[in-house]
Amino acid sequence: MTEDTIWENETIPIAATILPNFFPIYFGQTPVYGDLRKDDTRAQLGSLGQGYELWANAANIALESINDIAIVIQSMSGEGAKGQ
């Protein structure tokens, strides 16, 4: 299922879930707009607090891995399974 992805050599099982995402902006905070793949956008989110920085970095990793994620999702759904 993870062939041809960044996880193809992993020896431990991989578990994941896809969930809708939101995070609160508290009164007085300025919303951040921009591309999470850019350092300045992630830095602006980080200035809102530690949790925002963690979220921005995790979202960036997901964006960088989007092609591999799509391969795994297609494989799980049977659409991209090899041999079919």
| Predicted confidence (pLDDT) per residue in 29-68, tens digit | 899 999 888 999 999 998 998 889 888 888 888 888 888 8
- Kindly state the tokens that stand for 52: 């925002």
Q: Against a cut of 0.95, is the pTM above it?
A: no
Place of tokens 């992993």: 10
Domains held by the chain: number: 1
What range does the domain containing 72 cover?
A: 1-84
pLDDT (tens digit, 9 = 90+) per residue, 3-40?
Answer: 778 878 878 877 777 777 777 888 998 999 998 889 99
Cβ-contact 70, 18 below 8 angstroms: no
The answer to whether residues 37 and 56 touch, using CB atoms and an 8 Å cutoff, is no
Residue 83 banded pLDDT, cuts 50, 70, 90: very low
